[in-house]
Structure 1
């Protein structure tokens, strides 16, 4: 089944569990634009054919398992629509399941057959995206959109959105000096929308909210809302009730930048505090060692950082140190990872650390990556 770009914690935990051999992982860089996306579809089918050949030639794979996995891969090829491709594709398949994820970040072309899925690219891509909610306010209706990077989808159905006033058909704009019945009806609608937001703003997965509407709409919502601390940005604009996802994404570009800038500033303050407290690591080598020891509370990485490296065993400790390589050096060689940053990110998140991606050149003195340590 095709999944959203950001796996839920429950799904990710399940994907990390061991499978009966063979568990197949396929990653492929893709394009959003036709005709390149059509060529990606051909490349994918060629990769899946290569997987089938490897399974057929593998003495550790029974014919029954090879056929079952082949059927799952065939389902992947049938389900995927190249017109919906983003920047990267991750495919997982075993004898009784398959999952596909379309990512907003590029991934290397690779096939891995093991007893576990290769999840590091998926995890790192999800960490790069900033999920958020956009609450669109108007005189008689409140709509909710969920965003992940520049991809936005309207939230409907069981969520209770859109929320509509009983007087939605009227064109009278609520105002302090206007009809009190209209004003109260408007405030009731905002209160109901705020109530329906509550489940999305609780616990570890609480999302930042962008308020969208005219100034009077935003001011009125802030008066009735119990979730003021969750509001991360505002966009003063009207007329977006019937907008398309592409149009909404374009409108939200400025608030997204504002949220990213605020997150970057907060991460840099945390790094400064950790440096003062001598709980700081700089550079990929120091960060890798600290991550392996579970000591990183916050990892900050430049968006464009790519590091080719081979993890080495030191005194019996596996993957304890990195041998850094030039880009392209040792490509395809045993143990060489084209982007060790993805593995670093997954290691930090697995130990309940936080990861923040920041613009290039932000961490120039730390060679693109720095960490605040727990101890």
Structure 2
């Protein structure tokens, strides 16, 4: 999951925005049970839209969901998939972590699992640098895969000067960082690493020392993942520390109703939420009334997702933490701007 795509998804507003979330098998194609599950979820979306929108809108959205699924069937799987479709926008997103399989229909796409994927599972990047080649790899907790396209790998020409090669590397790394702002581990000998981090201004979270021109991706993954896991833990610890500091400054909010109200007003600087926390609710007189009827027309399927979307839309941050971490704060807490 890339931050730029997440941001693009969060900009889409309009009813019906349908999100299908389903688990898949990493490194393999869809098996029969997964196909049945996704078809069932799409059929559920079709049924729920039948009495909710006009025929043409329903046909367009459901048809788009089926088309994206058909296209994704030929691709190697990750841990899960999100298929998003509205009358104006659609995309299929591969996720690196398991999800609660469900259909969400709202004014915006359900992005809580995508946020969790970005912050916890983390797509991360490994850049291998040397005097002759720079390779770009993306991965998650399970594996790394090399990015091979018209840009990568970057290979030095035989007669290319050091200065020209350095400029080419710097330009390519900066462009990649702008496109995909994800945690980055740099692998290489000290001089090459120093040049990549310093000249290209890569915000690296760690370094794997040594020449890795011939290293296997599984070996690189074993070396890089502990650095990424440590970084994720640090982000979660920093979030908890910010919550503690906010309490003493009277900038602290907890509980889904209070946090939701402040999020809708654009007053949250940081929201921290437990991994599996979800709440379906009606909005009555500016407050939330939780309900078990998530599929009712006047119910917001998941107000936690709505909170995260609102916070990010207003320039705030979101951090997902493990279940039980916020048990004293009703599973969700926030740092207020004022």
Q: What are the residue-to-residue correspondences of 1:1-375 with 2, within 5 Å?
A: 8=5, 11-12=8-9, 15-16=12-13, 18=14, 23=16, 25-32=18-25, 37-52=31-46, 58=51, 61-62=54-55, 68-69=60-61, 71-81=63-73, 84-93=76-85, 98-105=90-97, 106-110=99-103, 112=105, 116-121=107-112, 124-125=115-116, 127-129=118-120, 130-147=122-139, 152-159=144-151, 161-164=153-156, 166=158, 185=162, 189-190=165-166, 192-201=168-177, 206-215=181-190, 217-219=192-194, 221-222=196-197, 225-227=199-201, 230-239=203-212, 241=214, 243-244=216-217, 248-302=220-274, 304-314=275-285, 317=286, 320-323=287-290, 329-330=292-293, 332=295, 339-375=302-338
**TM-score, normalised with respect to structure 1:** 0.71
Deviations 1:60-98 (A, max 9, x none): 534x55555554344234212276343443333456764
When Rg is computed on C-alpha atoms for both structures, the one with the higher figure is 1
User: Which segment is superposed worse, 23-32 or 90-99?
Assistant: 90-99
**Structure 2: distance between partners of 1:80 and 1:202:** 27
**Structure 2: distance between partners of 1:371 and 1:65:** 37
* Number of residue pairs the alignment of both structures matches: 335
RMSD over aligned CA atoms reads: 3.9
Instruction: Could you tell me which runs of 5 or more consecutive residues in structure 1 were left unpaired when the two chains were aligned.
Output: 169-183
Asked if the contact 1:5–1:104 (Cα under 8 Å) also holds between the matched residues in 2, the reply is no
User: Which segment is superposed worse, 135-144 or 94-103?
Assistant: 94-103
Q: 1:362 to 1:280 in 2, by over 3 A?
A: same
Determine which structure has greater relative contact order: mean sequence separation of CA pairs < 8 Å that are 6+ residues apart, divided by chain length: 2
Q: 1:235 to 1:189 in 2, by over 3 A?
A: same
Deviations 1:90-144 (A, max 9, x none): 33345676432233340342263x7x45334465445535454322023422212
Secondary structure of 1:110's counterpart equals: strand
Deviations 1:233-256 (A, max 9, x none): 112254354634x66544421121
Secondary structure of 1:84's counterpart equals: coil
